[in-house]
Chain A
């Protein structure tokens, strides 16, 4: 009798235990399944970027093998005689992005300063929302507006004015056509401004009020607080924001394709039509015939990919270094 009770209890224990075991096993299975599934997602990202590098190098190999390193330095772009060089597009890419940043950085910092330090709350909120809308407008819209509205306005107002006063510079010589490097840089600047301004605004609001008040307390003007306290405090983040903007400007396609004029001639004048890697690809890829032509275009894409990659890497190093300096300073 007693033995029976014990054994019954033991039976009960065993069954409980096995149930717990079973549950542990299913939960272990669930854990492993989730882990494996999500790991696949993470590995897919690696696969994509590795595949991208491999496919671009593979696609570009015909052109790179044919032209060698002179592909980067050659000025000719002649589909008829099948001679291709990256220099005009590469220079156009760097020049348009650089000019765009030259215009966009002061403008964005001004907007960020206005939003955080100058405007009352009732005004700052709608202006910030407007900047967000500017960022949301698709690039092709900027391109269309640039081509049909901005370029004629620049040709009839801005360029004659610049020629009259600064015409002795080779930059501002030539017939004012509107379509060309100058309009491309202005449109690009407009597209980059909201990105830099949004990050700069967030950074400026992160500056502790106490140190700004300390500066005001010893008699600093609003501008001096900005220049000597707020900007140094947020320097690393600002560099990151500017690099982010540069990356966008380098790879921007549609807006530039509409307004840059698509010419493979290198010219000192900002009035002249030019080209960027992205606009060359957008214009010529679907029409390219012949293996060498397509391969040269893929090689251009590879150059653009590497360029944005390097810019991103430099930005990261700069940001981490300035962040370290900031930590050491405090």
Chain B
């Protein structure tokens, strides 16, 4: 009897120790990654990094300004494409389609798109936009990122609007509001904080994406203000620089890594904070 009790206590102590150790492991790796990023990233960071164009290896005062602007351009276009359509689809699911057959299919399809690897979306956009036109473009990159945002925005809008109490909707209708006013001014408004969180998370996710841009937006060493031309983005530039054999390019890639991570992590924390406030 005593041996059984002792054995149970030992197993318990072992498992509690292992659980604590796994939390420590996660923290150690996070610290390791962040420390590397800060140490290597700050070393290559300078004013030139933010305002100069890329230069051949060995030349001083090279920068990634075009890639920084390019990332903002492509992500902004992706927001303009993904968010309105995602909102519309989400509103349809929550307010009109509800549990009907079409909604079930659309929800399933949204999950399929959500689970599709981002590189497959890149290949799809390549076959859709790059191959027929014969050239890579920032626009194609934006469509690929927008398609990644679309299911996230759709599902969050759907879920957040279905959380709005029916009594609120009935109150609006009882006061004589037409359905469209009720949907836009009552349901959507009540769900908006939650939807904002979802959109911010979607932007953060897409801002760190590289794979779907590799063969859509491609890359460019110049400013690319025309969205039908290949557009440099921080992530793709960083990939090329990190894979290069030149020490100065690798240092610049580490700086890009630090800038991207700071942006994405801040955006994520902001989203979580607004989400908590909304709740």
Contact = CB atoms under 8 A, between A and B. Distances in A.
11 contacts: A33-B180, A35-B96, A41-B91, A52-B120, A110-B18, A119-B23, A137-B261, A144-B238, A148-B36, A193-B26, A281-B119
Given A27-B179, A45-B109, 11 more contacts: A38-B96, A49-B109, A110-B18, A136-B264, A137-B265, A141-B208, A253-B119, A254-B239, A282-B214, A285-B214, A308-B116
Contact of B218 (A110, A141, A286): A286
A222 B11 CA distance: 10
A52 B238 CA distance: 28
Interface string B205-235: 0011111001100100000000000000001
Contacts of A27: 178-181
A56 interface: yes
A52 B116 contact: yes
A258 B239 CA distance: 9
Given A41-B87, A46-B106, A147-B242, A254 B29 contact: no
A275 B197 CA distance: 36
B208 A138 contact: yes
Interface stretch (A67-75, A160-168, A263-271, A297-305): A297-305
Interface of A: 26-28, 30-31, 33-35, 37-46, 48-49, 51-52, 55-56, 58-59, 106-111, 113-115, 117-119, 127, 130-134, 136-142, 144-145, 147-149, 190, 193-194, 197, 221-224, 226, 247, 250-254, 258, 278, 281-282, 285-286, 297-298, 301, 304-305, 308-309, 311-312
A247 B215 contact: no
Given A30-B180, A134-B29, A298-B127, A39 B268 contact: no
A33 B33 CA distance: 51
B29 A138 contact: no
A282 B147 contact: no
Contacts of A48: 109, 113, 147, 150
B127 A304 contact: no
B212 to A, nearest CB: 9
Interface stretch (B48-56, B58-66, B164-172, B252-260): B252-260
Interface string B245-279: 00000100110010011001100110010000000
B273 to A, nearest CB: 11
A37 B180 CA distance: 11
A161 B238 CA distance: 33
B128 to A, nearest CB: 6
A138 B92 CA distance: 32
A305 B117 contact: yes
Q: How large is the interface on B (under 10, 10 to 19, 20 to 34, 35 or more residues)?
A: 35 or more
A14 B27 CA distance: 75
Nearest to A128: B23
B88 A42 contact: yes
B78 interface: no
Interface string B72-107: 000000000000111111111101110000110110
Contacts of B88: 37-38, 40-42
Contacts of A118: 16, 19-20
Given A27-B179, A48-B147, A138 B210 contact: yes
B117 A251 contact: yes
Interface in B20-62: 20-23, 25-27, 29-30, 32-33, 36-37
Contacts of A190: 29
A154 B22 CA distance: 19
B92 A42 contact: yes
